[in-house]
Structure 1
Amino acid sequence: MSAGHVVIVGAGQGGLQAAMSLRQAGHEGPITLIGAEKGLPYQRPPLSKAFLKTGEADKLALRPASYFEKKVITFRPGSRVDAIDRQARVVRIGDGEIPYDHLILATGTRNVVPPLPGIDRALGLRTLEDARALRQALERPRRVAVIGGGFIGLEFAAVARALGHQVTVAEAAPRLMARAVSPEMSRRFEALHRSMGTGLHLDAPVAEVTDAGVVLGDGHMIAADLVLLAAGVRPNDALAVAAGLPVANGIVVDECLCTPDPRIYALGDCAAFPDPVSGLAIRLESVQAATDHARTIARSISSGQPCRFDAVPWFWSDQADCKLQIAGLATPEDEEMPAGEKAVLRFRNDRLTAVETLNDAKIHMAARRLLASDHVPTRDILAAKDYDLSAF
């Protein structure tokens, strides 16, 4: 069993999972978990959904304070790491230093803030503090403008609309969730949001945010007294850059999630790793990817043997009464094949790459098992079964 000191920078779900998995795997050495935010590690996905409705912050905590004492994990909330000294193998916090034998970077992402006039008037939605500010702002009727038609923007839009607010979404791309889903699924969610009374402006980049609302590139004004910025994220990689680690749309790691420094790993939203299927460098903005990464790294450290990451990625988004679930990973160029009213299959070179489902957990789970198997079916094989994944 391993006994060295493991330091984890970042106390989100991935960072916490790394600490938990190390103990579960038998790691006996000290573990230090460092989080920039105050308070206990918490779930982020509900911030754009359930929390805006209920305000029940206590239900977001992933583990009570007693857990860290019980598992002998040193938890340091409200602390920011200033630098990594790879030669001395220490992280620096203020005037102090914490030595490490293994270092895990779970630093996550930050919102993209476009250089637009008045953008500082917009609110973000990344942290519990952000969600509290938004929830307070929604306590009275509002005209809401959302900049960005991705998961977070649309989840927030659905909640705000259900609460009775006037909502308009401005998306720079020609369709909603363009990076994540097929054109067919984009169309279905466009219809959903329009049916709720949400205004949608597609292919409509924002030029300015004013006291009166949002000005689009074509001059159109969206009247709003509350603006949410949900225009994407960027990896928090400054520590890695300053430490001389390679960065390319994330901290570059190998198939075992290890950087070129064998003592340092990266996981979750901040890590750029080789896709097990294509070998291409990818970065996943997904809680599940972060927790799967954490388990893989914990196995490597506790066993002393490098372990490859090969889990099938999956994602979800709850918007109004629709649960979107995605198994696998497709590119925007992958072909689409609608399979009934609840599923869309994605193909690359006739190979199944992903399955998108609406309110169909059974097909979603079947897709995850199928994509994780050694014999992922081709389009011809699926066609012979009328594209019914449950047949496999």
Structure 2
Amino acid sequence: MRRYVAQLHSGIARAVPVRRTPYRRRAAAAASVLSAVPAQQAGTAHAFSAFDADLERGLPPGMAVLLVLPVLRDGKRGFRLRGVCCCGVLQDFPESAHPDIELANLVARSGIPPTKVIATMRRWSQNMTKLTTWLHERRCEHGDALQLMVWDETGYGIPWELFWLEAPPGSSWREGWLGGLVTMTRWLTINAAWSVVRDYATSHTCAGPVASFVADDMRHDDALLSRFASETIPGIRGLSKTLATGQPLGMVYVACHGKFESDEDDCRLGDVPLVMLEGGGRFGRLASAATFVFLNACHSGRLLAGDGTFADQAQRGFSEVFLRSGAAGVLATSGEVGDEEAHQMAGELLKLLCERPQMPVAAALRELRSVVAHLMPADLFDAEANEEQRRLLPLLYRFMYVYYGSPRTTVALAPCEGWA
């Protein structure tokens, strides 16, 4: 659920549930991403899957792709990385072990204190020396224009936004959490025979009114949408019907509780199971024009990975459902986020997008993450008291928002009548 998670204690993080991951098939499918982006007119919708990707045809200026593939060696799970840059640089990285660093487990009631989460992420990042070097080189090459897309096929829930990027000693480059330094997005393989899926490298403009559902105990979010032309979705179970037909939308906003389990029937957006949303038909309004989807609900951005009920080797989740229907971008969460922090995040993001309509959503998220990065103390031992630990939660919550889609997607929401 989207709620405040401030029960802090020392201890070991809850173990990540074991999932059977179809390494060979999903790795082979995703590996074809390294051959690139199909040539399409900007803003148009088209069928898209990893099998069609052809990076050798080139990425847009300033864009780099980090492909994360699952591996299985001697019965142990791990992953390997391959980086591709628009400037032609291709880098393969050594295999790494499967890290137990999913934020949904670390930042939870049964998790570990925020200071330990921060220390854990920094220590894990320090071990990824070749990745640190590659990312630094990309920053040197492209500066603030760098746009990083992480295509993660592992299902491990690795929090790439919270990768600590060190700078060389004596360098003028600022070091910090990757999601606050670099404009970055996520992607995943999307299986669709006929649906329209917008590619991750094209510029999309999400223009039009808002369709929203806000749970009764989150009504304060209504005020955030009051300046926009909008329609109310009649209950979370009316989501599919509302999005099936009608005029194009600029944004779909959902604020409710969420739940994540090991089965599609138990993963829920409000009281709607993932399996029902997946099998409920197409969202035609997302296919007709580029739409930004903001799922401000706990666990809404997590993915199921494994054979699962259907044994079809696919990653599944609410983000994938909307992307498969044609959404130009989906912002969701990778775990439990406090209600007040979720409300604040939505308010700050919408305000920034209105004030700077030419700013892509991904760039706005980088700026909003950067704002809270200062909450991290210079010395973690200075923040061991419970009250200091609670003050670090907003930093972790902000980095638990993950964005799937093109780093070039912008939003221009229609104002309500009479709004100056």
- Fold match (TM-score > 0.5): no
TM-score, length of structure 1 as denominator length: 0.26
In terms of fraction of residues, the more helix-rich structure is: 2
Larger relative contact order (CA 8 Å, sep ≥ 6): 2
TM-score, length of structure 2 as denominator length: 0.25
In terms of fraction of residues, the more strand-rich structure is: 1
